[in-house]
Structure 1
């Protein structure tokens, strides 16, 4: 081959590699070229891929995408509060050619820069379940009105206590999360208290985690044994609270929010007095439908769409509209 033979072969190999690299530089979605115009490519970024609530939201979005013949990809943070993981997920979806990104942000502010970069590329970004701060950081929000949901929990507890003054423990969610802030605010409004009132015997953040909630409740109960009401940010938190209450023989009123089938079962068993059901499947359906319309016509939805909430209890109280657990089991985390 002569002295230049090996160099010539190396040059040919390098050119071939560049050609192959040029082919893979086209954007792919699950192995499918996404250059087709007018077809939605929907990416969903949830807080985690293990929390049952977000699993339900993801599967509802996947089902709606399949029914609409829409390409769909789901990513998540590694844990509740993993803003860096969600930023990476957004960046990956942008590179994959998403036309719409649906996100349940861990922090109302922690992913704003990545969202802005996506929107600057013409991608519609919708917040599901959790609003950003400011809300204008995304094109639109499809979610429960979390202040209203918290208020309903507080109103129920207040009415169930009757003439008895509340002595409350607050088991909050993830600090800095708009959901946590709004639900707590609504609960205090509903029960008629303000931050710092002496009737709030103590509070702690449990990040929506059952084990953390149990530990927090155990610590709080060491100095608040006269508690008669417990606010819980979500249903895993309520289960953690009950695990701390039972060994002490305490039976305060326990309220919660989410309305998953397991949570409705907790109400049936009497572990939770009332939970406020929300509808993640509806959020998912509306989000995917908006993505399809955006890809077809370029239209972007805007503002806030409240997907509603319903008090679930088998012990209704005057002045607080509710449904029983039989209704709850038929509709848990559905599209009602």
Structure 2
């Protein structure tokens, strides 16, 4: 073998070893969302992917089959641990049932950060990056109260599903903001004052939201205010109301502030929505994972990632931003 060929082969070998060493030093971070289809979690994944690329991080992603799929999230945690993830970011589908799997991961030295949704108890994870969901509910409750202008409220709530902290916080926050008796942010029980004439679970899904609204209208055709857990459920509610010829007589308020949801605000389908920022949650999670990989320092506690009321019309006494501002900021887009 010639000296030139030997030098070339050595250079190739050194380059391969260098790439291997770089890969070995590359932090591995996992992101587990509730679903792959909900636009909120699609945006969260986009944020994590962009942050991981910018910081040379290997990002593993997984999701449940649908909201509430705890078994799928447990499997994802196990798979990510086996693949070497030292940080796992998760939006828990079941706040309590996921805790044992998270404990196993943390016992192995994995830092676990909840995004968007807390665990029960909160201390089951190292940290939580999320919207203040009680405040998000309170903002649209205040807006709805002012918008009705003293008219008696006949309220339908299209909630998430029983026992989920985010669903309870938004629901109870909405009622509190409206000026009705409501459980505090620490409660996972849904309040039901007399003004709430129908409560139904939507699972944050448009089709289920439409069915829930149809059922509520059968129970009480005089509903004039609808609270929804998120904008897909709001879209379903609007479709049901329009089919019944009631879309102009009923006020819909919601939470999320996604681009499509804000467009629905601009179109008058949703009166107001509380905008949150999943891209920010995800990028902060990746940053924390990189810090842990480099320094061994874990983040801790709750970080509020912000919320803004986006409304189609200004109402006196309620601070809000217009739909164009909401589109400029939807879910963290700059």
TM-score, normalization by structure 1: 0.88
Task: Give the structure 2 partner of residue 181 of structure 1.
Answer: 168
Distance 1:69 1:38 in 2: 10
Distance 1:327 1:135 in 2: 33
Q: Deviations over 1:217-258 (max 9, x none)?
A: 111101211111100000000011111111222221100000
Task: Give the structure 2 partner of residue 312 of structure 1.
Answer: 310
Distance 1:312 1:67, change over 3 A: same
Note the C-alpha offset of 1:300.
Answer: 0.6
Distance 2:320 2:24 in 1: 46
Task: Give the structure 2 partner of residue 14 of structure 1.
Answer: none
Distance 1:84 1:277 in 2: 30
Task: Give the structure 1 partner of residue 147 of structure 2.
Answer: 160
Distance 1:115 1:206, change over 3 A: same
Which consecutive unaligned segments of at least 5 residues does structure 1 have?
1-31
Task: Give the structure 2 partner of residue 269 of structure 1.
Answer: 267
Distance 1:322 1:60, change over 3 A: same
Task: Give the structure 1 partner of residue 243 of structure 2.
Answer: 247
Map 1:53-68 onto structure 2 (within 5 A): 53-68=40-55
Distance 1:318 1:69 in 2: 48
Residue 330 of structure 1 pairs with residue 291 of structure 2? no
Distance 2:174 2:319 in 1: 16
Distance 1:198 1:93, change over 3 A: same
Distance 2:192 2:327 in 1: 37
Distance 1:34 1:334, change over 3 A: farther
Task: Give the structure 2 partner of residue 298 of structure 1.
Answer: 296
Q: Deviations over 1:90-121 (max 9, x none)?
A: 00001111010000000111211110000001
Q: Deviations over 1:147-183 (max 9, x none)?
A: 1101111111011111112110011012222111111
Distance 1:74 1:102 in 2: 9
Select between 269-278 and 168-177 the one with higher mean Cα deviation. Answer: 168-177
Q: Deviations over 1:121-165 (max 9, x none)?
A: 111000001011111000000000111101111111011111112
Map 1:205-284 onto structure 2 (within 5 A): 205-250=201-246, 251-284=249-282
Distance 2:197 2:40 in 1: 29
